[in-house]
Amino acid sequence: MLREHKISKMSSELKLPIAPNILIVDDVPANLQMLADMLKAKNYRVRPVPSGELALAAAGREVPDLVLLDINMPGMNGYEVCQRLKSDPQLAAVPVIFITALNDVADKVKGFALGAVDFVTKPFEFQEVEARVSAHLELARLRQELKRQNERLEEVVAQRTLELAEANARLAILDRAKSDFLSLISHEIRTPLNGIMGVAELLLLNLSDDSDAAKYSEMYRQSRQRLMMLLDDALFFTQIGSDASTQARQPCRLDELLSRARLQAVPFADSRMVQFAAAPTNLGLVQGSTNYLVRALQSLLETAVKFARTGTIIKLTRITAPGEIGLIIEADGLAIPLELLPRFFDLLAISELIIPGGGLGLAPALAERILTLYGGMVSVENMKPPGIRLTVRLKSAE
């Protein structure tokens, strides 16, 4: 008794596979018995029934893994039984193999249309029956496994989607808080800063007219200019994060964008005694928002000015490519250290003083963010003789 208990417990733990359950439907007892004996010999669980009505009742009690179904039966024929099986959501996936003496193509087409997976023609050979049964049971198993895997995958995707949505929501809150903070700082710092600058200007006015006074005045002017540009760029960065993505893309004339950007960059260029060459014309239409693209181009022009030698002229050249309109900005003067080139457009990544009078500030990063927002891009490279080349590419709207 103890040995039997141990064997039973081991079988339960091993979870031996259950033999497939096959429902056989045929009104001829000899055929029914023959098929049942054949399939039992192959260790299938067999349930033979002699009519369509009994077949539906048996399938309702326990869903079969496969149905062998005779077509020509009195009362409810095989076609009707198959139709009823396929109309039941619990039984629709069960494979049905018709057993029939009919050999007409129209009969087979009708059977396939009702959802049958195969036919066995009477008189049948057991090897054929067993081969078709085995093949369709395996196909059904694979379909069920695929369905389970898809369901598991859908659950995983749904869970990951939910997690991503929650993470994005948290990031949006943090990004908004960061933008609000930067905006507040940019606005509020101007009030005390104006007071400091006012006092500094008064003190400079009271200095004697000598070389030291001129030197201090120039230092003050450059520092004031850099600080105000940094504040303006920081404030613009907050706008990009908060509302730029909602800006509708519209056709913009690149000539007009460049003209406005060039005009706004002229005061800074004049302070460095640098000029801009005449802007190219007939540049075409690009996609974006006018205010943002003007700001991006202005930032790049002012960046070029920082690398230009005093008295030089910054060149502006039009380039084209399929689906794109571009602009090359070239400044003769200083080169970018090779180790800093990959980080040129990173936000605050380049803190080293690679140009006289200070660093790059936020201008390159600001321009790169705006251009990327509208499907464009900007790259930088050193030239020989020393200088830099900025290449701007924007999506054409033509």
Alpha-carbon gap, residue 274 to 387, rounded angstroms: 14
Q: What is the pLDDT of residue 7?
A: 44
Confidence of residue 65 (pLDDT cuts 50, 70, 90): very high
**Judging by DSSP bridges, how do beta strands 377-382 and 387-395 pair with one another?**
antiparallel
Q: What are the distances in angstroms from CA 128 to CA 100, 121, 131?
A: 14, 10, 5
- Taking CA 397 as the corner, what is the angle to CA 396 and CA 398, rounded to the nearest 5 degrees? 95
Stated as kind and residue range, the H or E segment containing 388 is strand 387-395
- Taking CA 308 as the corner, what is the angle to CA 223 and CA 365, rounded to the nearest 5 degrees? 65
User: What distance lies between CA 313 and its chain's CA centroid?
Assistant: 43
Q: Is residue 119 within 8 Å of residue 108, measured between CB atoms?
A: yes
| Least confident span in 241-245, 254-258, 260-264 | 241-245
The answer on pLDDT for 88 being more than 90 is yes
CA distance from start to end of the chain: 89
Tell the burial category of 234 from Cβ atoms under 10 Å away from its Cβ (0-12, 13-18, 19+): middle
| Least confident span in 116-120, 217-221, 267-271, 371-375 | 217-221
Side chain identity, residue 68: L
The answer on pLDDT for 2 being more than 60 is no
The answer on pLDDT for 314 being more than 90 is yes
Side chain identity, residue 60: G
Q: If you average pLDDT over residues 251-260, what whole number do you get?
A: 93
Collapsing DSSP to helix, strand or coil, 16 comes out as coil
Indicate the average pLDDT of the chain.
83
Whole-prediction pTM: 0.51
Q: What is the pLDDT of residue 317?
A: 94
**Judging by DSSP bridges, how do beta strands 313-321 and 275-276 pair with one another?**
parallel
Q: If you average pLDDT over residues 112-118, what whole number do you get?
A: 90
Q: What is the pLDDT of residue 79?
A: 93
Residue identified by tokens 């030291």 is 212
pLDDT for 330-366, tens place per residue? 999 999 888 888 888 886 555 554 666 556 777 888 8
Q: If you average pLDDT over residues 269-297, what whole number do you get?
A: 91
User: According to DSSP H, which parts of the chain are helical?
Assistant: 2-14, 29-41, 52-61, 78-87, 105-114, 126-188, 190-205, 211-243, 254-271, 290-307, 363-373
Q: Is residue 108 within 8 Å of residue 78, measured between CB atoms?
A: no
The answer on pLDDT for 45 being more than 80 is yes
- Assign 3-class secondary structure to 248-303: CCEEEEHHHHHHHHHHHHHHHHHHCCCEECCCCCCCCEEEECHHHHHHHHHHHHHH
| Least confident span in 175-184, 205-214, 343-352, 371-380 | 175-184
With CA atoms as reference, report the closest residue to 303 among 339, 343, 330, 321.
330
Cis before 48 (ω within 30): no
Q: If you average pLDDT over residues 316-332, what whole number do you get?
A: 92
Q: Which two tokens stand for residue 36?
A: 């049942």
- Percentage of the chain modeled with pLDDT above 70: 80
Residue identified by tokens 């020393």 is 386
Confidence of residue 23 (pLDDT cuts 50, 70, 90): very high
166 vs 55 pLDDT, higher one: 55
pLDDT for 13-22, tens place per residue? 445 567 899 9
**Judging by DSSP bridges, how do beta strands 96-100 and 118-121 pair with one another?**
parallel
Q: What is the pLDDT of residue 391?
A: 96
Q: Which two tokens stand for residue 54?
A: 């009994």
Q: Is residue 397 within 8 Å of residue 375, measured between CB atoms?
A: no
Q: What is the pLDDT of residue 219?
A: 75
Q: What is the pLDDT of residue 105?
A: 82
- Percentage of the chain modeled with pLDDT above 90: 37
Alpha-carbon gap, residue 293 to 296, rounded angstroms: 5
The answer on pLDDT for 173 being more than 60 is yes
Domains observed in the chain: 13-146 (3.40.50.2300), 248-398 (3.30.565.10)
Q: Which two tokens stand for residue 343?
A: 């980080």
